[in-house]
Structure 1
Amino acid sequence: MTMTLWIFFGVLAAYVIVAASLARLIKNKDDFYVMGEQGSTLLIVGTLAATFLSAVTLMGIAGISYSEGPLVIGALGSFGAWIGTLIAVVYVGRKLKAMGCRTMMDFFDYRFNNKWVSVVALILMVVGLLGYGIIQLIGAGIVLAEIIDVPFPVIIVAFTLALMVFCSLSGMYGVVYTDTMMFFTMLAISFIIAPMLIGDAGFEAMKGLSETLPGFWTLGGADDRPLGWSISQFLVWILFFACTPALVSRVFPAKNDFVILKVAVIGVFFAPAMQLLVFLAAGAMQVLQPGIEPTDRAMIVGFMEHTNPTLAGIGLAGLMASIMSTASTLFVLTGFALARDLYEKLFDREVSERKGVMLGRISQALVAIVVCAVAISRPAGIYWISIYAGAIFAVAWLPTIVAALQWRRMSANAALACMLVGSISFIVVGELKRHDLITLPANVDNLMVAIVLGTIALIGVGLASRPSAYELETFDDLKQKRMSDSTIRDFLARDNGAAKLIREYRQVWLVMVLFVAIALALWGFLFSKLGL
């Protein structure tokens, strides 16, 4: 076995060993679902950034950056993702954590106490998470099978067994700790391998690509995509990232509000910064090796043919990490939904701590088995599910969650109207457009249509009906709950708590100033070198 494969499988084994060793920390359901709310700044930054940087970044979007130019998605898409992630952490995640949520579904149950709202929200979440996760596993498995000469089913089974260890044995502990390990592997890609590829290509040669590929350094790219497509990418990344369970739930294990605020600065800096460097490195591959097909392989070719075997192994391990960090998060949330949000709430609300953990582990194993079987079969239909997955959260969940947090007239009927109209109209309009049965106006796509229709339905039903006494009471209660209040009370209850509180407050400001300066220096350097 080559050095590259030794590193690849060695890193995979390290993840499994660490995750298995963490099973001893699971004493109750809180440990399993939110790691006892003991997440430090490093751990939450690691899991947030690792979840953000998925195989879609290193393969799909890197392929677009290679063929069309880094700005097509990098300028508006990544900026939209940055805004969306900030909203997910600072606004949605903090508010739901203040409510004591252990899963995203806890919010819908608490806010509306309506079976149909919970059922619809649960279905949308399971379909969205599994669709997005499975297609990542399939696409990356196919590419890795070609590169490292290991059969596709073997790679999928290896990933599945590892995921079962992460999710089934150690729950959120396993996901968060292994995500943080994976984060450092991904940092090697973004801050070691990517700059090497950019350096080998040279900034002048990269700038010169616009002469052979007109539009390479424009928002439309070499394929001259319409402005509406770029705006749609900007919107979908904001709207999807702002409410996706994969990012919002990263806040729940955090130790306190200071950890969340530091994560909002550090984690939200690293996520787009890592993406930007990967996209520029993919563009550099157009100089180093034009003509790569399919273009999704651009970064992998860069690892294998333009670095030494050690870095190639680290690069492939980083790709594997991007798959597994996102997949483990998606699958653990699906398992949580089945065990806690479906079984416990519908069939056994008085389940014991020990039985609750056991049910959580069984649900994770079942999800892993189903995912493995579907991924190995490689169904064509799952591709379309994956396309709709992220956008469904944007058009169905986000207006519902924001209105539930901010609008006193928000009711279960309004929530149902928004989720159903938003998701169904997105799918129907998209399919009609894809089959050329309808034509949308210039610079308008089905995402924009669906979120407008869903929001109109929400407002219309909300104004036409009255919220129940329970919904009014929970809204008023919700407005009183702030994450900062519980953190202040906790600190003031400690010895010398006021001094510790002031010190933490100052640290947050110091971190913010430091990372703003780093971001300005990094972006300014790259933009000046590329003449943008």
Structure 2
Amino acid sequence: MGLTTLITFIVYLIAMLAIGVIMYYRTNNLSDYVLGGRSLGPGVAALSAGASDMSGWLLLGLPGAIYATGMSEAWMAVGLAIGAYLNWQFVAKRLRVYTEVSNNSITIPDFLENRFRDKSHILRVLSALVILLFFTFYTSSGMVAGAKLFEASFGLSYQTALWIGAIVVVGYTLLGGFLAVAWTDFIQGLLMFLALIVVPIVALTQMGGWESAVQAVGEIDPTHLNMVQGIGIIAILSSLAWGLGYFGQPHILVRFMALRSAKDVPKARLIGTVWMVLGLYGAIFTGFVGLAFISTQDVSVLSGFGIQVVEENGLQVLADPEKIFIAFSQLLFHPVIAGILLAAILSAIMSTIDSQLLVSSSAVAEDFYKAIFRKKASEVELVWIGRIATVVIALIAVIIAMNPDSSVLDLVSYAWAGFGAAFGPLILLSLFWKGITRNGALVGILVGAVTVIVWGDVLSGGIFDLYELLPGFLFSLIAIVVVSLLGRPDSEIEAEFDQAAKISKEN
């Protein structure tokens, strides 16, 4: 990396830490630390939700998958776009209203306990445990992606790169809590969006236009041009099933809860949907054009940036397809722009890690420490418990990420499935079905989480090659309905449900 690029990159990192310092002085209690005092406007909520959702997967994983296997990987993008829109359409407003009506709940486990009047705390503890389990793996995937970026950009060892990335993200999350996370995610979301629009356009211009890129890819492998050729129904369903995961992702749901008003949801939905669709298109075209570009252009300069190019079947290709965006930033742009583009990749990574760390630390502070051990803990004490938890969880994630051969996509898909199956059906039914009971909620979380763990790791072959999110979601949904029908919620719970439904319709 050149000096100019390095300076640009460092300036960006300092700016993110500065936001953390500024928001430190606006964080006075636990509600501020984990929910920002419900003060987010529609633009910040939408872009921070999108940025925390997409992670390094959008700039590394998806372009790399398209580069390696072609347009058949685009089914995943289709599923995600549909799922994100439906989440904003049906969940956002209702959850914003219901969490405030239900004793001003500030975390998902807090909401579930208040929603079902669970005085035993079992529901809160179980949901918090599931959050900590899957977010540790999810955070680890971001650590791996960050290490790959620093490794390729600075020529550092994998372990050194891993620790540097972890220290930066933990730094501003530790200081500023939710407001720091939301505002850095907003800036990072803008940066990611611009990068995904600019990079494929410049690459296409260098290639001589879209037709030249299509022709080059067709000559390399015609199956790369087709979304259905060479892919079975199980693979398509697995890819589309990613969209179901949105209904259960705590780091996205908390953005809905933090909106300043339910009336902001339509504007936020429009901003978030446009951001996501165009961003996904940019990622797909980056990978597609990347295959044509690397195979037909002189890219020998990449070796100087630690990006390995190898020969396969008479063609030059990237040894690690997930580095195609990094390769383009170094090949096509001025060092200052390259620094900004590399910062965009780090933005994608950090915007997800910070959100996951915050939700995990809030689960420790609010759902374990306060609910079970120190019910009369002061607000300042709870904030510091949250900060300590942030550091501990980050350290565990770093340990998991120590293996340089770790797959970003594998870690993400596992955690995404875990949350989608454990919480997705439960959140939907909690918001829209009066008849759901506490026991139904408990069984649903267990069935969803266990299915994800067993389906992918213990069973294999045939139908078990289906992405574990889909069976996990369906089994959890069925379990909740069946168990809930065996009982009935009390009148107080039903009255609160009616109140939340009424307010939602009025907004």
> What is the TM-score when the length of structure 2 is the normalising length?
0.87
CA distance in 2, matches of 1:302, 1:309: 12
CA distance in 1, matches of 2:233, 2:30: 48
Cα distance, 1:173 vs. partner?
A: 1.0
Q: Which of 440, 443, 453 is 2:463 aligned to? A: 440
347-356 vs 264-273, greater mean Cα deviation: 347-356
Structure 1 unmatched runs, 5+: 489-532
The correspondence of residues 413-432 of structure 1 with structure 2, limited to 5 A, is: 413-432=439-458
Give the direction of change, closer, same or farther, for the CA distance of 1:153–1:486 in structure 2 (3 Å limit): farther
Cα distance, 1:255 vs. partner?
A: 1.5
Q: Which of 146, 160, 166 is 1:140 aligned to? A: 146
Q: Which amino acid aligns with 1:255?
A: R
The correspondence of residues 236-275 of structure 1 with structure 2, limited to 5 A, is: 237-275=242-280
User: What's the Cα RMSD here?
Assistant: 2.5
Indicate yes or no: 2:483 matched with 1:467: no
Correspondence for 2:77: 78
Correspondence for 1:334: 360
Correspondence for 1:517: none
Correspondence for 1:449: 471
Cα distance, 1:226 vs. partner?
A: 1.4
The correspondence of residues 120-269 of structure 1 with structure 2, limited to 5 A, is: 120-201=126-207, 202-208=209-215, 209-220=217-228, 224-235=230-241, 237-269=242-274
- Aligned 8 A contact 1:19 1:170 in 2: yes
Q: Which of 392, 409, 434 is 1:366 aligned to? A: 392
Cα distance, 1:377 vs. partner?
A: 6.0
Cα distance, 1:381 vs. partner?
A: 10
CA distance in 1, matches of 2:59, 2:159: 21
Cα distance, 1:389 vs. partner?
A: 1.1
Q: Which of 282, 296, 306 is 2:332 aligned to? A: 306
Q: Which amino acid aligns with 1:185?
A: L
Give per-residue Cα distances to partners, 1:143-198, cap 9 Å, x unaligned: 43133212333333332222233222111111011111212221231122232112
Cα distance, 1:451 vs. partner?
A: 2.9
Q: Which amino acid aligns with 1:3?
A: T
Cα distance, 1:229 vs. partner?
A: 0.9
Correspondence for 2:306: none
Q: Which amino acid aligns with 2:331?
A: E
SS at match of 1:197: helix
CA distance in 1, matches of 2:235, 2:347: 30
Give the direction of change, closer, same or farther, for the CA distance of 1:444–1:324 in structure 2 (3 Å limit): closer
104-113 vs 372-381, greater mean Cα deviation: 372-381
SS at match of 1:168: helix
Q: Which of 479, 487, 491 is 2:498 aligned to? A: 479
Q: Which amino acid aligns with 2:68?
A: S
Cα distance, 1:244 vs. partner?
A: 0.6
Give the direction of change, closer, same or farther, for the CA distance of 1:433–1:357 in structure 2 (3 Å limit): closer
The correspondence of residues 17-56 of structure 1 with structure 2, limited to 5 A, is: 17-56=18-57
- Aligned 8 A contact 1:53 1:275 in 2: no
Correspondence for 1:58: 59
- Aligned 8 A contact 2:95 2:431 in 1: no
Correspondence for 2:111: 107
Give the direction of change, closer, same or farther, for the CA distance of 1:289–1:162 in structure 2 (3 Å limit): same
SS at match of 2:37: helix
Q: Which of 313, 321, 327 is 1:295 aligned to? A: 321
CA distance in 2, matches of 1:342, 1:444: 35
Give per-residue Cα distances to partners, 1:316-371, cap 9 Å, x unaligned: 11110100001001111101111111111112233222223232223223333333
- Aligned 8 A contact 1:30 1:36 in 2: yes
- Aligned 8 A contact 1:111 1:475 in 2: no
- Aligned 8 A contact 2:48 2:182 in 1: yes
Cα distance, 1:383 vs. partner?
A: 8.2
Correspondence for 2:418: 392
SS at match of 1:409: coil
Cα distance, 1:8 vs. partner?
A: 1.5
Q: Which amino acid aligns with 1:106?
A: D
Q: Which amino acid aligns with 1:205?
A: S
SS at match of 1:247: helix
Counting matched residue pairs gives 476
CA distance in 1, matches of 2:377, 2:339: 45
Give per-residue Cα distances to partners, 1:468-496, cap 9 Å, x unaligned: 42xx52233123215966986xxxxxxxx
Q: Which amino acid aligns with 2:488?
A: P
CA distance in 2, matches of 1:325, 1:247: 11
CA distance in 1, matches of 2:138, 2:12: 24
Give the direction of change, closer, same or farther, for the CA distance of 1:11–1:380 in structure 2 (3 Å limit): closer
> What is the TM-score when the length of structure 1 is the normalising length?
0.83
Correspondence for 1:277: 282
- Aligned 8 A contact 2:141 2:408 in 1: yes
Cα distance, 1:108 vs. partner?
A: 1.3
CA distance in 2, matches of 1:305, 1:476: 62
- Aligned 8 A contact 2:39 2:260 in 1: yes
CA distance in 2, matches of 1:169, 1:385: 27
301-310 vs 381-390, greater mean Cα deviation: 381-390
- Aligned 8 A contact 2:247 2:425 in 1: no
Give per-residue Cα distances to partners, 1:439-493, cap 9 Å, x unaligned: 328x955443333333332232222x21342xx52233123215966986xxxxx
Give the direction of change, closer, same or farther, for the CA distance of 1:379–1:288 in structure 2 (3 Å limit): closer
- Aligned 8 A contact 2:248 2:422 in 1: no
Structure 2 unmatched runs, 5+: 296-316
Correspondence for 1:3: 4
Q: Which of 427, 437, 453 is 1:401 aligned to? A: 427
CA distance in 2, matches of 1:445, 1:176: 31
